[in-house]
A = this chain, B = another copy of it.
Amino acid sequence: MPSSSINKDLQAERDKCSFDKKEFTLWWVGGKEKLKEKEDLEQFFANDPEFHNDPPIHFLSHKELYEETIRQSTAIFRKVRKFHEDRGNGDPSNYMSILGGLLGNGIIRQGNPLGIHFAMFVPALLGHGSPEQQAEWLPRALKCQMLGTYAQTELGHGTFLRGLETTATYDEKTKEFVLQSPTLSSYKWWPGGLAHTANYCVVMAQLFSKGKSHGIQPFIVQLRDEESHMPLKGITIGEIGNKLGMNGVNNGFLGFDQVRIPRKNMLMKNAKLLEDGTFVKPPSQALTYGTMMFVRVVICRDMAAYLSKAVTIAVRYSAVRRQSHINPNEPEVQVIDHLTQQYKLFPALAKSVIFKLASDNLWEMYNQVTSELDKGDLERLPELHAVACCLKAITTADAATGVEVCRLACGGHGYMTCSNFYGTYGMVTAACTYEGENTVLLLQTARYLLKAWLQAQRGQELVPTVQYLARFLSSNNRRVDWDDSISGIIRSLQTVAAGKLRLAAEHIEQRQKAGATQEEATNQTSIELARTADAHCRAFLVQSGYEMIEKACQTASPELARVLRSLYHLYTYDEALKALGDLLRFTTISESDINRLQAKLEATLAELRPNAVGIVDSFDLPDDVLGSPLGAYDGNVYERLYEEAKKSPLNQEPVNQSFHKYLKPFMKSSL
């Protein structure tokens, strides 16, 4: 077993930390109460043999992994139930937040096939079910007496909802819907838990009644017999196969052959179908924004969590690992002392913080907009949607890159599955595709920006996140004066976004004048549009980060405030230097300004260097959650790697059977 003593290099790092780590942690998790809750939960799950895998799951076959995940998932649900009951709070609707935390924390590393039940099936009942429908299904669903999933995506159809092919045709005679998969490409594909776990499903299908289409509507469909779990008649069901990650999720496919369900199984909180087959439109579509927004806030927060995990592992490892000399005749240095290593890890450290704050900020915006919505004020909804789209795209893309940079910074050992970078990457990169593919989302934000650009040109009042367009217009498109203060950098990045938006708008106009339809012109300008949305998002992140960090600094100790500002500065200088080409186009930045900015960035790396281990310690991620021999608190990297290797089933016998079966006969056969 790894010795319990702390690696001396890591201890030396901790000794030089300049701030109170407990204060950082309290701020990071959101206060004393939240920290207590987190610690209670960690305690409750710690060292529970039910959650330890022997051998580790990466040695299992695909099928064994699913079975092991079901064992663990049901154990976790039971245990979470108990956790609540012990505290006198047995309300199952509270499970999800805790489960979300557990999943994010990685107790179940390859995803949970029951997760979708609370994450989408129950919310779909709440969001789309009438009071009577909720009364019928919700109690059973909340008690997990029925297990559901949510089937929207099809084999041939993803992001573009209107393209879905599955049909639900109303049969007036029997008062039933007939569900049908008209083609192979209409098979439902991807829903989590669908393959072998769920027995019920919300199915999104094209509603037909009286020979007319009424768009995509949600239906409750029973998939499997409650006793035998056998698929019901007309249902073709199975799993879609192995994936880059999330192999516990049990993603499935589903085909319908004349499956009949009663009329009451169409969820009718919004749109309705009357008994005689008359379709009744919903009063407003705005309500559906809610869940989507919420999911994007969660994604953005998760990205911060995953990135903070990867960077914790990489920073600790880089403090322990020694390689190459800087000065000859001195010992090999900690790799974290190589400036190039700092430049790989510390921006990822800063992004973990800034993305988490952006998620908090988005959440505040969401709550504000929702309260306005309740008063019937829809004005800021499109703005919120535009911010959420691009934040989802940028935080997932940057987190994925960041995790890979951290992994590569750990060299060969980062390539080991046990180091837990690859599992983390699998979770993060999936988020680049699900809940709206990133390029599609950037183009949605760009569409919003084009409208805002028109409003700005007309001198109309602009909502907060695009007010910089008015300033840009009032400057007559002139280059903004560069200054490298924070407010100067924010102004410059906003000018970049505005300048790119102006160009994209002009190019669309030119292409329309040359004969293209508006849609063709937009497609022809889409590279620029996606980049414009990217620039808008980065300006938002830098601005939002500033506000959130300064808010934190109002109550922080001077030592903590200094560290938080260093992280923010690094993020901002790094973003500015990455946007250098654009800054040169849209601001007056000069060659000496560039050198000065690079020097500032390097000075910030130096500032953060002595506190890097302290900062990742403050993220307060227990070893169980990090799940990596490279990142454990004690820094006994090599001992732990060796322990992990010894767990391999291949290492349980000195000679593998394949030697006798294949290798020896091969070696003995003469040429």
Q: Contacts A231-B654, A253-B645: A422 and B663 contacting too (C-beta < 8 A)?
A: no
Contact of A276 with B by CB under 8 A: no
Q: Which of A318-354 contact B (CB under 8 A)?
A: 321-328, 332, 337-341, 343-344
- Contact string, A510-523, partner B, CB cutoff 8 A, digits 1/0? 00000001011001
Contacting pair A187 B411 (CB below 8 A): no
* A417 to chain B: closest residue by CB: B242
Cα distance A245–B58 in the bound complex, in angstroms: 12
A294 within 8 A of B: no
- B323 near A163 with CB under 8 A, answer yes
**Is A656 in contact with B160, judged by CB distance below 8 angstroms?**
no
Given contacts A62-B59, A229-B659, A659-B196, contact A242 B602 (CB under 8 A): no
In the docked arrangement, what's the CA distance between A656 and B193, Å?
Answer: 13
Would A667 and B155 count as touching, CB distance under 8 A?
A: no
Q: Which of B158, B231, B404, B594 contacts A323 (CB 8 A)?
A: B158
Partner pick for A671 among B92, B146, B160, CB 8 A cutoff: B92
Instruction: Say yes or no: B526 contacts A338, CB within 8 Å.
Output: yes
- Is A77's beta carbon under 8 Å from chain B? yes
The stretch from A63-71, A208-216, A362-370, A611-619 touching chain B is A63-71
Q: Does A150 contact B (CB under 8 A)?
A: no
Complex interface: chain B residues within 8 A of A639 (CB): 184
CB-CB < 8 A to A433: which residues of B?
Answer: 408, 411-412, 414-415
- Given the known inter-chain contacts A59-B62, A242-B417, A434-B412, please indicate yes or no for A655 contacting B160, CB distance below 8 A: no
Query: Chain A 240-280 against B: per-residue CB contact (8 Å), 1 yes, 0 no?
Result: 11111100000001000000000000000000000000000
Q: Which of B147, B185, B241, B337 makes the CB contact (< 8 A) with A638?
A: B185
Q: What separation, in Å, do the CA atoms of A528 and B196 have in the docked complex?
A: 54
Proximity string of chain A (638-657) to chain B, C-beta cutoff 8 Å, 1 when within and 0 when not: 11011011111111001111
Q: Which of B61, B78, B520 contacts A666 (CB 8 A)?
A: B78
A66-B656, A155-B638, A323-B159 given; A339·B526 CB < 8 A: yes
Bound CA span A524–B327, Å:
12
Q: What residues of B have a CB within 8 angstroms of the CB of A153 in the complex?
A: 412
B residues near A143, Cβ cutoff 8 Å: 670-671
> What are the interface flags for A418-453 relative to B under an 8 Å C-beta threshold, 1 for contact and 0 otherwise?
100110000001101110011110010000000000
A343 contact set on B, CB distance < 8 A: 527
Q: How many residues of chain A are within 8 Å of chain B by beta carbon?
A: 141
> Within the assembled complex, what's the spacing in Å between the Cα atoms of A611 and B576?
38
Beta-carbon contact of B61 and A60 below 8 Å: yes
Residues of B within 8 A of A404 (CB): 429
Separation of A159 and B413 alpha carbons in the complex (Å): 13
For A63, A583, A585, the residue with the greatest tally of chain B CB atoms inside 10 Å of its CB is A63
Q: Check B238–A648 contact: CB distance below 8 A.
A: yes
Report the bound CA distance from A639 to B582 in whole Å. Answer: 46
Residues of B within 8 A of A63 (CB): 59, 648-650, 656
Quote the shortest CB–CB distance from A582 to chain B (angstroms). 8
Q: Which of A129-174 contact B (CB under 8 A)?
A: 143-147, 153, 155-160, 163
Task: Tell me if A476 is interfacial: C-beta within 8 Å of chain B.
Answer: no
Q: CA–CA, A151 to B580, complex, Å?
A: 45
Q: Which A residues between 200 and 250 are near B, CB-CB below 8 angstroms?
A: 228-231, 238-245
Contact A238 B650, CB 8 Å, known A59-B62, A78-B669:
yes
> Is A282 interfacial (CB-CB < 8 Å)?
no
| Chain B hits for A340, CB < 8 A | 439, 443, 526-527, 530
Q: Mark A568-585, 1 if CB is under 8 A from B, else 0.
A: 000000000000111111
- Min C-beta distance of A645 to chain B, whole Å: 5
Beta-carbon contact of B667 and A144 below 8 Å: yes
Asked if A523 and B650 sit within 8 Å, CB to CB, the answer is no
Contact present for A520 and B184 (CB under 8 Å): no
Q: Which residues from B are CB-within-8-Å of A602?
A: 524, 527
Q: How far is the CA of A71 from the CA of B664 in the complex (A)?
A: 11
What 8 additional pairs, Cβ within 8 angstroms, besides A242-B417, A527-B602? A59-B62, A67-B658, A70-B656, A153-B412, A157-B323, A240-B645, A580-B584, A584-B584
Can you name 5 A-B pairs with beta carbons within 8 Å?
A77-B666, A253-B645, A338-B523, A343-B527, A503-B595
Instruction: List residues of A whose CB falls within 8 A of some B CB.
Output: 56, 58-64, 66-67, 70-71, 74, 77-78, 81, 90, 92, 143-147, 153, 155-160, 163, 184-185, 187, 189-190, 195-197, 228-231, 238-245, 253, 321-328, 332, 337-341, 343-344, 404, 408, 411-412, 414-418, 421-422, 429-430, 432-434, 437-440, 443, 503, 517, 519-520, 523-528, 530, 580-585, 591, 594-595, 598, 602, 638-639, 641-642, 644-651, 654-671
For the complex of A and B, the 3 pairs showing the least CB-CB separation, nearest first, are A581-B581, A580-B581, A61-B61
